[in-house]
Amino acid sequence: MHSNGYVYVKMPDHPRKNKANYVKRATLVLESLLGRYLVADEIAHHVDGNKMNDNQDNLVLMTKSRHQRHHAMGNQHWKKRARKID
The verdict on residue 2 lying in a domain is no
The verdict on residue 47 lying in a domain is yes
Q: What are phi and psi of 73, to 5 degrees?
A: -65, -40
Of the spans 2-6, 24-28, 57-61, 74-78, which averages the highest pLDDT?
24-28
**Regarding predicted confidence, which is higher, 22 or 77?**
22
The verdict on residue 3 lying in a domain is no
pTM above 0.85, yes or no: no
Is-contact 44 27, C-beta < 8 A? yes
pLDDT, tens digit, 9 for 90 and up, residues 25-47:
999 999 999 999 999 999 999 98
What is the pLDDT confidence band of residue 76, given thresholds at 50, 70 and 90? low
How far apart are the C-alpha atoms of 63 and 44, rounded to whole Å? 9
63: containing domain: 8-85
Say how many domains are in the chain: 1
* Those residues with Cβ within 8 angstroms of residue 59's Cβ, 6 or more apart along the chain or in another chain: 26, 29, 30, 33, 44, 45, 46, 47
The verdict on residue 49 lying in a domain is yes
pLDDT, tens digit, 9 for 90 and up, residues 42-71:
999 998 889 999 999 999 999 888 877 877
Is-contact 64 43, C-beta < 8 A? yes
The verdict on residue 60 lying in a domain is yes
Bridge partner residues of 43 (DSSP): 62
- Alpha helix locations (H) across 35-63? none
